[in-house]
Amino acid sequence: MTEPAAHMDLARFREMLLQSAGVGLAIVHRRSGAVLFHNQRFAEWFPAAGEADATLARLLPALDLAGLEPQLAADGTATADVEVKPKRRPIQLLVRLEASEREGAEVLIVECQNVSKLRELEFMIESYSKMIERQNRDLTKEKERVERLLLNIMPKTVYEEWKSFGVTTPQRYDASVLTLDFVDFTEMAVTRDPPALIGELNDIFTAFDRIVEQFGCERIKTIGDGYIAVSGIPERTPDHAQNVAKVALRFVRYLNRRNASSPNQWRCRIGLASGPVIGSIVGIQKYVYDIFGEGVNMAARMEEVSGPMQITLPETMRARLRGEFQFGALRTVDLKGFGATQICTLEGGGALLDEIPI
């Protein structure tokens, strides 16, 4: 085989490779944009490529050649995404331009790759990622909502233990308990508008919650018009008796101020007691944190014997509070489960209490 024949066979082989390539290939004059060569796939996407006056600008009007020129000058290559519609359905092409020379003339090698499926896949991945992000945000919000609900029914440290281990260990504490209910609430529930009544009760309990938090106590639960708070659970503190006493005085002060400017009068009875208390989560499907023991029972008995807007406590608790608080006279009552017990009322708590705003 002669050298020219071998050269012709090599050129033919290269042309066959270009024609069978899965991408559209063309060579265009860099200055005029005239199409000097194109393969079959390029012609499928751009049927006018075979015309004598075919130019790259006419075939690909969406391609910003002027905008790509700085990149071509700097790197010798440039890429762009272009949408074309050779038939009924548009396709996405990734167009790559490469500066070169052919027979002493500056040309651009144009490579077009159909990336429609890739772009669809990228769109699907992006949409799926956004959906996952949205679901994660929703799950985070739902988790926060559930945590807020659980923190409303159990102390934070108990919740952290339950979240970490799935169970909590009942603990015995030396604590002080406050129990409260409202005088004539049953009659109010019958005679007053239910939404208005519950709205006022909710306002009062919300204020109580703020007061409880101010003095380092924990609201355990509400039962109808009943309100139960404790100090010394689950965080042990030597000042638990002082804490609940200050809360009780603040409750009465808050209600007195509210009643002075409201047509509806809310009068409470409060019982206080210090003693052994057990705290634990009870229930399997419906969780609730509750307290049990002598301190709880005594506080309930003190509430029963309290008069309207009175705070009653046993003499044993009064002994813990001497010096900072003022008390009524001692008297003896017979209490169910405790027998003859000396009790008194809590009348005041010093100037420090007045300095803390409601």
> Which residue, 127, 114, 100, is CA-closest to 27?
100
Amino acid identity of residue 131, one-letter, is M
- Summarize pLDDT for 22-38 with one digit per residue, the tens: 788 999 898 888 998 88
Gap between the Cα atoms of 321 and 62, Å rounded: 86
Any idea which architecture 3-114 has in CATH?
A: 2-Layer Sandwich (3.30)
Interior/surface letters 280-311, b for 16+ CB within 10 angstroms, e for the rest: bbeeeeeeebbbebbbbbbbbbbbebbeebbb
Any idea which architecture 171-354 has in CATH?
A: 2-Layer Sandwich (3.30)
Gap between the Cα atoms of 343 and 315, Å rounded: 5
Q: Tell me the CA distances in angstroms from 194 to 97, 189, 352, one per residue in order.
A: 77, 7, 38
> Which residue, 299, 301, 262, 269, is CA-closest to 184?
269
Give pLDDT, residue 10.
Answer: 55
Gap between the Cα atoms of 346 and 12, Å rounded: 110
Gap between the Cα atoms of 316 and 318, Å rounded: 5
Residues in the chain: 358
Q: Could you tell me the mean pLDDT of each successive run of 10 residues in the chain, 358 residues long?
A: 49 57 85 89 88 88 87 88 84 89 85 87 88 89 79 70 69 92 90 90 95 91 91 88 95 95 92 91 69 92 96 94 89 93 88 48
Give pLDDT, residue 146.
Answer: 75
> Which residue, 322, 340, 323, is CA-closest to 332?
340
Residue 313 burial (C-beta neighbours within 10 Å; 0-12, 13-18, 19+): buried
Gap between the Cα atoms of 304 and 207, Å rounded: 23
- Summarize pLDDT for 219-238 with one digit per residue, the tens: 988 888 999 999 998 888 89
CB atoms inside a 10 Å sphere around CB 41 = 20
Q: Which two tokens stand for residue 57?
A: 């600008």
Q: Where are the domains of the chain?
A: 3-114, 171-354
> Which residue, 85, 306, 266, is CA-closest to 179?
306
**pTM, two decimal places:** 0.59
What value, to the nearest 5°, has the Cα angle with vertex 222 and ends 210 and 312? 80
Interior/surface letters 93-107, b for 16+ CB within 10 angstroms, e for the rest: bbbebeeeeeeeeeb
Give pLDDT, residue 8.
Answer: 46
Answer whether 143's CB lies under 8 Å from 130's CB: no
Give pLDDT, residue 12.
Answer: 57
Q: Which two tokens stand for residue 109?
A: 């090698």
